[in-house]
Amino acid sequence: MTDTIARLTHLQDTPQTQATRQQRAKAISATQACEDLLLAPDLPGGLPLAQRLAVAQTVSAASGVTALGEHYAAQLQRLPTATPDARWQAMHHFTQLLATQPAAADRAALLALPAAGLTTADVVLLAQLIGFAAFQARLVAGVAALAALGPAGSTATPAAPAAEALFIHPANLPAPGEPLRLNGYTSETLDWKAWLPVVDATQASAEQNAVLDASHPKARVSDFYLLLAHQPRVLAERSEAFNAIMYAPGGLPRSERELATAVVSRINGCVYCASVHAQRFEQLAKRNDVIAQVFIDPDQAGTNARERAIVQASAVLTRAPGSFGAHHLAALRDAGLSLHAISPATLREEGGVPVAGWIVSATKGTTAQTSGRSSHA
């Protein structure tokens, strides 16, 4: 069965792109499984399908990805129209804020949701849905650009030139593995404290226990996992997608996946997420020079042409996915990335949000940014 991304980007018309994308079969199936769960008509909880579809449509529209917005609007039109109330208005405001200004989705913005009548489980579901829709919008934009990418050497509108690279002398940086602290960001391990009640591990259900056991060795003492465990099925599916994108063999090297995700986290203003991916990059690459550049100014980051192309593509896809096109991928290819490498490089979109709530891009910062605070461990 054709998945949503393939259908919206008409991949049946571009067999080569379809074949390239199929090299990430696990990520494809995991992404579709997330959509199917988050927008299942019978998903338990206090967010009816019409409201969930409206949230997804709002995020898609805010991202500027028309095809995805129309996809959700068409489904929404088949359902009875509900009269907006104070609860929906609070949800809509939070959705707009998180989709467009994630760093502004602070404690006060989050706590306005339970004040409007949402349960903690509903707030977690809402944040995960916003993060997923932001991720999905960037996925649609990236795959469409990949489908439109002509052969090497073909004429394409060039991407805007990147700003001149920022030079940081190695003598001014700590040794890799030592804490890097610049511009309010750090590579050191941070703690994460929830702003909402977390699941009591001693009172967890069988389903919650199962997902906690599968998530992380310290999940039972981690506010992050104990908060997300309010929605155990969503946490399980989100983890499947995250692992398929970040850890699958082949394609873009692991260190460069972490670099792209660190860029997304930095642009989204998620200090916690940036610290996680900065630390992982250092562990894999055994250096921190480009991370220092990202912390100071992501628009000037990259120690070589390849890194700069990855950083620039990640930045555009994070900030303005509706403007992302084949010329941005051509710059990646010109820097030496193959189609196989380009696919995970540009289709990860943590974060979007983010990335940790939703993976990077873009998503990943979503739940982490809006459900708790980070602090030094």
Strand partners, 375: 191
Average pLDDT over every residue of 256-272 = 96
What is the band of 328 on the pLDDT scale with cuts at 50, 70, 90? very high
Least confident of 175-179, 201-205, 227-231, 233-237: 175-179
Residue 164 pLDDT:
64
**What phi and psi, each to the nearest 5 degrees, are found at residue 152?**
-55, 135
Residue 122 pLDDT:
97
pLDDT at 128 over 60: yes
Least confident of 93-107, 117-131, 157-171, 346-360: 346-360
pLDDT tens for 67-103 read: 999 999 999 999 998 788 999 999 999 999 999 999 9
pLDDT tens for 301-320 read: 999 999 999 999 999 999 99
Q: What is the DSSP letter of 177?
A: T
pLDDT tens for 240-254 read: 999 999 998 888 899
Q: In a 3-state reduction of DSSP, which class is residue 218?
A: coil
Q: How far apart are CA 56 and CA 140, in angstroms?
A: 14
pTM over 0.85: yes
Q: How far apart are CA 324 and CA 264, in angstroms?
A: 15
Q: Which run of H or E residues covers position 137?
A: helix 120-148
Retrieve residue 266's tokens.
Answer: 């930095």
Ordered DSSP codes for 272-286? HHHHHHHHHHHHHHS
Average pLDDT over every residue of 344-369 = 36
